[in-house]
Amino acid sequence: MRVILVVLVVIGHGIFYTIDTNFGGIYIYEAMNDAGIKDTAFHELLLYVSSFIYSFHMPAFFSVSGMLFFRQIEKGRYRSLKSLAVIKFKRLIVPLIFTWMIVNIPIKWISGYYKDLEHPFFSALFQVLVPYDVYLWYLESLFLVFILAYIIEGFCRKHQKVGEFIFPAALLICGIIVQKVLGKMLILGNPIKYVFWFYMGKWIDQCRFPIKSRFQRLINIAAFFAAYVISLNIPHGGWIIRETITPFIGTILLWDLCANILSMISQQSKDSLNNAASYAFGIYLYADPINYLILWGVNEIIGVCILGSELGAIAVFLSRILLSTAFAFWVVWILKKINLKICLY
- 238 and 109 within one domain: no
- 98 and 25 within one domain: yes
Spell out the per-residue pLDDT of the chain, length 345, in tens. Answer: 888 999 999 999 999 999 999 999 999 999 999 999 999 999 999 999 999 999 999 999 999 999 999 999 999 899 899 999 999 999 999 999 999 999 999 999 999 999 989 999 999 999 999 999 999 999 999 999 999 999 999 998 888 767 789 999 999 999 999 999 999 999 999 999 999 999 999 998 887 766 777 888 899 899 999 999 999 999 888 999 999 999 999 999 999 888 888 888 888 888 888 888 889 999 999 999 999 999 999 999 999 999 999 999 999 999 999 999 999 999 999 999 998 888 899
- Residue 105, number of CB atoms within 10 A of its CB: 21
Residue 133 and residue 45: Cα distance in Å, rounded? 21
- 304 and 224 within one domain: no
- Residue 267, number of CB atoms within 10 A of its CB: 7
**Full domain range(s) for residue 245:** 214-264
Helix H or strand E encompassing 242: helix 238-243
Residue 343, domain member (yes or no)? no
- 240 and 259 within one domain: yes
Count up the domains in the chain and report the number.
Answer: 2
- 244 and 196 within one domain: no
Closest CA to 167 of 192, 137, 191, 140: 192
66-101 as b/e: b if 16+ CB within 10 A: bbebbeebeeeebeeeeebbeebeebbeebbebbbe
- 234 and 190 within one domain: no
Please list the residues that pair with 26 across neighbouring strands: 19
Residue 287, domain member (yes or no)? yes
Residue 248, domain member (yes or no)? yes
- 31 and 14 within one domain: yes
Closest CA to 199 of 224, 221, 166, 157: 166
Of the residues 264, 296, 328, the one at which a domain ends: 264
Compute CA distances 23 → 101, 182, 191, whole Å.
15, 15, 21
Sign of CA dihedral 126, 128, 132, 133: positive
Residue 292, domain member (yes or no)? yes
- 155 and 49 within one domain: yes
- 116 and 29 within one domain: yes
Residue 55 and residue 32: Cα distance in Å, rounded? 27
Residue 345, domain member (yes or no)? no
- 60 and 137 within one domain: yes
- 182 and 55 within one domain: yes
Residue 344, domain member (yes or no)? no
For 149, phi then psi, to 5°, come to -65, -40
- 315 and 228 within one domain: no
Category of 184 on φ-ψ map: left (φ > 0), alpha (ψ -120 to 50) or beta? alpha
